[in-house]
Structure 1
Amino acid sequence: MECIAGLDPGRDKCGFAVLQRDGKVLWQKVIETKALEREVRAAQEKYGFTRLIEGNGTTSKEAHARLTRALPELIINVVDEYRTTDLAKKAYWRAKPPRGWRRLIPVTMQVPPEPVDDFVAVILATRYIKENYHE
C-alpha cells in the first residue's frame, strides 16, 4: 500500500511520521532538525513514500529547501498547521494516558511530559489523506 510522510519542522526538532494511505500510522518519531535529510532518506528507503506533507510553521521554508536539495524526487506539499499542536496534545493523552497521581488531574490542565511534534506530523498527513484520497 502507498505510504505518505508527515513533517512538523522546527528549529531544534521535527515531528516526523509515515502513514499508509488508509491512515494507519506505521512510524512516528521526534527527530533532530540537524539530521532531517538523513532521517527522511532512511524512512523513505524503508517505507517507499514519494510524498511528504510539511507543516507551514517554524522553519518550514528552510526545511523545504533542505529536503528539495537532498531528495529532489520527493514531492513536498506544504499545508496549514493551524491548531495542530492543540490536537496533538489531545492525541498524545489518548495514546499515553496519565498514570499515578496525574490521572486525577484533567489532561486539559496538564502539559505532556515529552514533545508532541510527531503527533502533529501524523495529524498533518492524516488531514492530507482525508482531503485528497476519496476512496
Structure 2
Amino acid sequence: MSRVAGLDPGRSKCGLVLVDTDAACVETGFVLPRDEVVEELERWKQERALGLIVIGNGTGSRGWFERLEPLASVKTVDEQGTTLRARQRYWQLWPAQGWQRLLPEGLRMPPDDLDAVAALVMVEDHLNLSCHWPGEPPRFKSEPEP
C-alpha cells in the first residue's frame, strides 16, 4: 500500500491529507495549526508507512522542505489556482444538499476551510489520480470548537 501526504501550507494554518494511492482513497484529512504539521506527519510515517509528501509552493511554503525531508521524499508542486479548484472539488466529493442544490455551483460556499481539499487537489494533480473521500464531509475547522 502506497501512501502520499498532501500539504497546503499557510502562514497560520495548513491543510493536510493522507491518500492511499493503491485504493485512490483519502484516509484522513484536516486543517490544523502550522506548528502541529510535522508531529502529525511523523505519526503517519510511523503508523502508516508514509512514502511521499506533496507540498504546495505558495507563500507559506518557505522553510518546510528542510523540516519534511527527514520524514519522506518531498515534492514541491505549483499550487496556483488550487483554492478555487478545491471549492469545486468539495462539491464533487460531497454534493450540495437541500436548498443549496438550487444555487449555481459558483455561488455555493462550503461550510468550512478548504485547505485539506486544496492539499488533495495538489496530490491528485501530481499523481494524475482522482481520489474518493468516503463518508460525510469532515469538519475542516482550523480553530478549536468553543
Shorter-chain TM-score bucket reads 0.7 to 0.9
Pairing partner for 1:118 from 113, 116, 119: 116
Q: TM-score scaled to structure 2, two decimals?
A: 0.77
Q: How far did 1:3 drift?
A: 1.1
What is the rounded CA distance, in whole Å, between the counterparts of 2:128 and 2:100 in structure 1?
A: 34
Q: RMSD across aligned C-alpha pairs, in angstroms?
A: 1.9
What is the rounded CA distance, in whole Å, between the counterparts of 1:46 and 1:107 in structure 2?
A: 38
Is residue 9–residue 60 contact of structure 2 (8 Å, CA) maintained in 1? yes
The 4+ residue runs of structure 1 with deviation greater than 6 A are none
Residue ranges of structure 2 left out of the alignment (5+ in a row):
130-146
Q: Partner of 1:40 in structure 2?
A: 41
Q: Partner of 1:61 in structure 2?
A: 62
Q: Deviations over 1:82-131 (max 9, x none)?
A: 22111110111122333333332222113222111111111111222228
Q: Secondary structure at the match of 1:86?
A: helix
Pairing 1:1-135 to 2, within 5 Å after superposition? 1-22=1-22, 23-68=24-69, 72-130=70-128
More helix by percentage: 1
Residue ranges of structure 1 left out of the alignment (5+ in a row):
none
What is the rounded CA distance, in whole Å, between the counterparts of 1:7 and 1:49 in structure 2?
A: 13
Q: TM-score scaled to structure 1, two decimals?
A: 0.83
